[in-house]
Amino acid sequence: MMIVGRYVGDAAFSAVGVSGSVMNLFIAIIIGLCVGFSILYANAYGAQDYEKLRKTIYTTAVIGISITLILSIAGFIFLKDILNAIQTPDNLIHECEIYLRVIFAGMIFCLMYNLLASILQALGRTNVMLYIIVTAMFFNLFFNYFLVAVLRLEVMGAALATVLSQVISAFLCLFYILKYLPKLKIGKADMSRDRKLSVTAFQFGITSALQQSSLFFGKLMVQRAINALGSDAVMAYTADICIEQLLLAFGDSGAAAIAVFVAQNYGHNEMGRVKDGLKKGIKLMVITGVMLSVMLYFTKPWFISLLISVEKLQVTAIALSYLSIMCIFYPLSFATNSFQGFFRGIGMIQLAFGATLTQIIIRIILTYRFTDLLQLRAVAIATGIGWIAMISIQIVYFNKARRRLQV
């Protein structure tokens, strides 16, 4: 985003921001599928049942590829309708179309990376994933600079950089699995159709995908409300979301770690470790959320300056007003993610979905009710209230699940 803003201009910066809201909705479905699949991988691995694990990998790959192809085709067909539905400013539509068509064309590589990454995470190879994602990040930065700043491909270059980095990360994951995890090599026997496994995998994947996509559908609806406020608000919110996604990525990763830890031990019937891991996970997540929020509160002008030029005082003021409020609420997101990881790990993904859906509905209603009056501050307050409602529901769900599972 820094490269696009500095070397292309404000319109391209805003266009990539708007496109990101649409792209994230589609990618959230893929990520959600793989998050649901990862619980099945972790359960099979925890039970040391490699035959079931291989069959699960094959079955989920078939489901994932089929759904991704449908998503890509739908994206191409309905792209203009989607951009019009979220009230994309006319001066941004063309660049948004260019960016998103490239993303949709390369979406299969997004699936490959997330599917293979979920396998490695389910097996506890998180250190390997760190090395792979850091490598992909550096390639992403290089491609962005080369394609955008040097070759002047503008938003197309930014989209190509994203796809190329996904290609690299996917093949690095595949290389590691083939070389160091021979027990996962799929043979003909593993490709036999197992109706029960297919149904289970589809249920886990779709429910998790609905949860993830409902979150980003809500964000897309929020983006629609912001688009109606004008170019300054769009640019400010684009910068805010870049910073926010960086901070909340720690919470998302923590949720994934808790989910895998719980799933592995739940699959091995180690309820004591499930309870102990969850308590420590929640503590670590909340402390991390508080520390990051305090850090961001005092450094937010510097972060904003990386994305918005200092001459744009009005845009900067709008962006800072949003982050000032959100820094109060970010620790709540980390707490909710802890419970989400627990529910996923024990296979109760429908509870995780219900809590997320409630939060999204509240966020959308309050955003549309108060945006005209409070601008981006309304979005921040609505998000915080949504998280409060979400964690309240999760605590009720958790107490019921704990008594039933004796955790």
Whether residue 405 has pLDDT greater than 80 = no
**Pick from 62, 158, 141, 148: which is nearest to 106 by CA?**
158
How many C-beta atoms lie closer than 10 Å to residue 66's C-beta? 10
Are residues 309 and 224 in contact, defined by beta-carbon separation less than 8 angstroms? no
How far is residue 340's CA from residue 345's CA, in Å, rounded to a whole number? 9
pLDDT tens per residue across span 292-349: 999 999 999 999 999 988 788 899 999 999 999 999 999 999 999 999 888 888 877 7
For residue 406, what pLDDT is reported?
Answer: 64
Are residues 346 and 266 in contact, defined by beta-carbon separation less than 8 angstroms? yes
**Pick from 252, 124, 121, 112: which is nearest to 172 by CA?**
112
pLDDT tens per residue across span 86-104: 888 888 999 999 999 999 9
Sign of torsion over alpha carbons 320, 225, 208, 15: negative
How far is residue 162's CA from residue 352's CA, in Å, rounded to a whole number? 29
Domain ranges of the chain: 1-218, 229-407
For residue 62, what pLDDT is reported?
Answer: 94
For residue 87, what pLDDT is reported?
Answer: 87
How many C-beta atoms lie closer than 10 Å to residue 377's C-beta? 17
Burial of 59 (0-12, 13-18, 19+ CB in 10 A): buried
**Can you state the angle between helices 271-307 and 313-345, rounded to 10 degrees?**
170
How far is residue 145's CA from residue 148's CA, in Å, rounded to a whole number? 5
Whether residue 113 has pLDDT greater than 80 = yes
How many C-beta atoms lie closer than 10 Å to residue 94's C-beta? 13
In the predicted model, what is the mean pLDDT of residues 123-148?
A: 92
How many C-beta atoms lie closer than 10 Å to residue 406's C-beta? 8
For residue 155, what pLDDT is reported?
Answer: 93
In the predicted model, what is the mean pLDDT of residues 34-60?
A: 90
What does the block give as tokens for 360? 């999204």
Whether residue 147 has pLDDT greater than 70 = yes
